[in-house]
């Protein structure tokens, strides 16, 4: 080929390349185009563009790192798609960075050419090798590959200056392709990150977030397994989420790692990403999970999950399907971890808010007081079941959104006053409190104490008002009972004291001198009234003693039949003296009872005392029998009985029925309260059945002693 024809061919080559290259998007395509175009100009031999082999072939072996180049020779004798991977650690390719310019060798091969030079497998007669200079500062050896002419006669080869220019042009083209590829990859990564970020941050459910991480991140990184480890704030350990594990891992106990333990622990401790290409060769790898599950971990890419500047856990990709995890995978996973951390942190915060709301709802619903929250305009935002019961509204008829003043009527109208007060003084955080009556749906009134307080917003103005309605019926009843008790005790004390004082003064005045019969009668009256005082004081002291010793009472076996034989005779005599009939049926073979015998004495004495006191005429029965693991003692009478409305209050202290008061039957209202305390001390129960005008039945059930030596 003449110099002129070579110049014409060169111009045609440059013209063809400049038209085609803007549309090239891969180094392999660039090599094919340049080789094909140059080969068609030469008309003989073959042309190959030798480029770095990234990625390595799928069937690469342990020696793959030595396969650093590939090429597709174009020309006679080469089939389309004929791809060769070349070792770069020997022969001319190993010397490529130091060649500087065009290097030509011909057969017979000179001695300095190694027999196993990879290029000799491609050429038969000669080859020319021109290094392609690199335009990338990251290439430390300064070359991006080589332009190679195979078996092209020297006279047919373009001028060296043209080949060097073509090599330089190829270097620039490779750099442009790399930049285009990088830009395309970054655009793809950004698209993936944006899409996954939107998906992750759109959910407030932690399970949904984990499911999104599993599907999206696994696809983006091409990993076989994805795991998330979150730091347990109470222990500082990393807990791997079981929902993201493979089936073989989900059968294990919860996996917990200490900070610094395993790859996940190291990343959580340092806050730095870690790419481990061979897990079992890295001393930081924790093999315990693999040993327990049978799973084989090959490679790991782990990045920290950071929220609010704090590491909250790690995101880990395991076993890439093709090859090893790359720097691009690390960048992508790190970018995805930011969205994942934000989503997890937000889901945790949301779950905390939900849990706190549930806790508050449970507290509000279980309150004994009525509670309502209202907006500053009076609209109800929350109301609990207790308050609905107070106003007589069915639980299903929740008046949320209605004006509180139209739902809850009070006398006086404290809600209106409270709203005005809270709105005016919210910044001062003053509390409002006032007594009133709730006007119930059935027309009745319920006395309550209304307490309120306002919550304020950032501007210091009231945003919501919390109102509590406390039922004061019980307090008023306690006050009434205390007043009655004081009145009763005063009456019970005043009458015997006045009698004692009167007859003592009569004795002292000397009016009974010489009249022994009158003197004895006066002394008898003083003694009788003193006994009455002593009985009253003893009952009060017994009740106090029961309360003080309830938890410390000795539980020793005793027999009810023996105790009845000691307690009942004087009481039976007292009843018979009143004209009453007493029937006692206590079997001899009842099992022993475990408890405090003194407490049982009080129970029996008070039940009999009440029966005698409230039975003007008729019969009193005392019986006992075994019922399962208990012994039941029953005291019944044919007395005045009890009205149904009084039954729920009988065991309250100081309570006396209206019937007893109207009939002038003395008492302090402490007898049955004392019985209840004593029965509870014995670990038993008490039941009452009564009908006004027909009598009362009281049944006490006490546990049988479990020790064998105490049974018959």
Pick the more confident residue, 456 or 666: 456
* Helix%, strand%, coil% for the chain, nearest 5: 45, 25, 30
For the record, the structure tokens of 269 come out as 């401790």
pLDDT tens per residue across span 596-630: 788 888 888 888 888 888 888 999 999 999 988 88
Q: What gap in Å lies between CA 668 and CA 487, rounded to an integer? A: 9
Neighbouring residues of 567: CB distance < 8 A, sequence distance ≥ 6: 601, 604, 605, 608
Tell me the average pLDDT across 511-521. 81
Q: What is the DSSP string of 568-621?
A: HHHHHHHHHHTT-EEEEE--TTPPPEEE-HHHHHHHHHHHHHHHHHT-SSSEEE
Q: What gap in Å lies between CA 44 and CA 386, rounded to an integer? A: 101
With a pLDDT cut of 70, the percent of the chain lying above it is: 81
Grade residue 711 by pLDDT with cuts at 50, 70 and 90.
very low
Rg for the chain (alpha carbons), in Å? 51
Strand (E) or helix (H) holding 128: strand 126-133
Tell me the average pLDDT across 97-120. 85
| SS3 category, 705 | coil
pLDDT tens per residue across span 287-324: 888 887 778 888 999 999 998 888 989 988 888 887 78
Statement: the pTM of the whole predicted model exceeds 0.75: no
User: How many contiguous H segments (helices) and E segments (strands) does the chain have?
Assistant: 18, 25
pLDDT tens per residue across span 159-169: 888 888 888 88
Q: What is residue 547's predicted lDDT score, i.e. its pLDDT?
A: 56
Pick the more confident residue, 659 or 123: 123
CA angle 486, 434, 459 (to 5 degrees): 150
In whole angstroms, how far apart are CA 326 and each of 138, 193, 223, 292?
16, 17, 12, 29
Q: What gap in Å lies between CA 377 and CA 346, rounded to an integer? A: 33
pLDDT tens per residue across span 615-624: 889 999 999 9
Q: Hey, what domains does the chain have and what are their CATH numbers? A: 3-183 (3.30.450.40), 203-354 (3.30.450.40), 368-467 (3.30.450.20), 476-545 (1.10.287.130), 552-710 (3.30.565.10)
Grade residue 266 by pLDDT with cuts at 50, 70 and 90.
very high
Out of 19-28, 59-68, 394-403, 510-519, least confident range: 59-68
Tell me the average pLDDT across 589-593. 88
How many Cβ atoms sit within 10 Å of the Cβ of residue 645? 9
Q: Are 509 and 549 in contact (CB under 8 A)?
A: no
Out of 121-125, 311-315, 328-332, least confident range: 328-332
């Amino acid at each position: 080929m003449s110099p002129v024809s070579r110049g014409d061919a060169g111009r045609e080559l440059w013209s063809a390349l400049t038209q085609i290259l803007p549309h090239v998007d891969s180094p392999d395509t660039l090599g094919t185009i340049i080789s094909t175009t140059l080969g068609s100009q030469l008309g003989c031999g073959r042309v190959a563009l030798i480029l770095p082999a990234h990625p390595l072939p799928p069937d690469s072996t342990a020696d793959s790192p030595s396969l650093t180049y590939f090429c597709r020779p174009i020309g006679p004798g080469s089939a389309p798609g004929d791809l060769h991977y070349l070792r770069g650690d020997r022969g001319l390719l190993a010397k490529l960075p130091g060649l500087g310019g065009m290097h030509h060798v011909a057969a017979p091969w000179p001695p300095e050419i190694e027999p196993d030079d990879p290029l000799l497998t491609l050429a038969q007669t000669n080859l020319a090798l021109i290094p392609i200079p690199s335009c990338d500062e990251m290439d430390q050896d300064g070359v991006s590959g080589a332009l190679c002419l195979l078996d092209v006669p020297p006279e047919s080869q373009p001028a060296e200056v043209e080949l060097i220019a073509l090599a330089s042009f190829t270097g620039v083209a490779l750099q442009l392709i790399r930049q285009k590829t990088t830009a395309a990859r970054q655009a793809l990564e950004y698209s993936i990150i944006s899409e996954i970020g939107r998906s992750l941050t759109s959910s407030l459910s932690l399970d949904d977030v984990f499911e999104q991480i599993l599907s999206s991140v696994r696809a983006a990184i091409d990993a076989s397994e994805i795991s998330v480890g979150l730091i347990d704030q109470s222990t500082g350990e990393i807990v791997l989420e079981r929902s993201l594990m493979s089936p073989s891992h989900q059968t294990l106990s919860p996996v917990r790692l200490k900070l610094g333990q395993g790859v996940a622990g190291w990343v959580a401790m340092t806050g730095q990403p870690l790419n481990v290409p061979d897990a079992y060769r890295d001393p930081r790898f924790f093999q315990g999970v693999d040993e327990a599950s049978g799973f084989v971990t090959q490679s790991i890419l782990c990045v920290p999950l950071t929220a609010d500047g704090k590491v909250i856990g790690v995101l880990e990709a395991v076993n890439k399907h093709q090859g090893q995890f790359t720097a691009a995978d690390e960048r992508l996973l790190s970018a995805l971890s930011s969205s994942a951390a934000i989503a997890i942190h937000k889901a945790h915060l949301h779950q905390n808010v939900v849990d706190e709301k549930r806790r508050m709802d449970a507290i509000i619903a279980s309150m004994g007081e009525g509670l309502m929250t209202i907006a500053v305009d009076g609209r109800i935002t929350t109301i609990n079941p207790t308050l609905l019961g107070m106003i007589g509204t069915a639980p299903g008829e929740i008046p949320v959104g209605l004006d509180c003043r139209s739902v809850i009527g009070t006398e006086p109208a404290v809600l209106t006053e409270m709203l005005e007060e809270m709105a005016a003084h919210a910044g001062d955080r003053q509390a409002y409190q006032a007594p009133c009556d709730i006007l119930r749906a059935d027309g009745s009134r319920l006395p309550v104490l209304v307490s309120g307080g306002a919550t304020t917003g950032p501007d210091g103005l009231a945003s919501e008002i919390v109102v509590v309605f406390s039922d004061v019926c019980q307090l008023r009843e306690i006050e009434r009972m205390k007043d009655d008790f004081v009145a009763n005790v005063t009456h019970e004390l005043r009458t015997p004291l006045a009698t004692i004082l009167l007859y003592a003064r009569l004795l002292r005045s000397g009016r009974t001198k010489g009249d022994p019969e009158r003197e004895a009668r006066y002394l008898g009256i003083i003694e009788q009234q003193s006994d009455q005082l002593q009985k009253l004081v003893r009952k009060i002291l017994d009740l106090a003693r029961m309360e003080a010793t309830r938890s410390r009472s000795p539980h020793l076996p005793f027999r009810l039949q023996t105790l009845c034989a000691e307690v009942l005779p004087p009481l039976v005599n007292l009843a018979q003296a009143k004209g009453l009939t007493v029937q006692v049926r206590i079997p001899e073979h009842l099992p022993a009872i475990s408890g405090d015998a003194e407490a049982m004495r009080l129970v029996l004495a008070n039940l009999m005392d009440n029966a005698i006191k409230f039975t003007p005429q008729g019969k009193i029965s005392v019986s006992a029998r075994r019922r399962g693991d208990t012994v039941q003692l029953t005291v019944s009478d044919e007395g005045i009985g009890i009205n149904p409305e009084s039954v729920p209050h009988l065991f309250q202290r100081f309570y006396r029925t209206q019937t007893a008061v109207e009939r002038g039957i003395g008492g302090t209202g402490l007898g049955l309260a004392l019985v209840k305390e004593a029965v509870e001390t014995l670990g038993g129960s008490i039941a009452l059945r009564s009908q006004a005008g027909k009598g009362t039945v009281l049944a006490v059930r006490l546990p049988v002693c479990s020790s064998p030596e105490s049974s018959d």
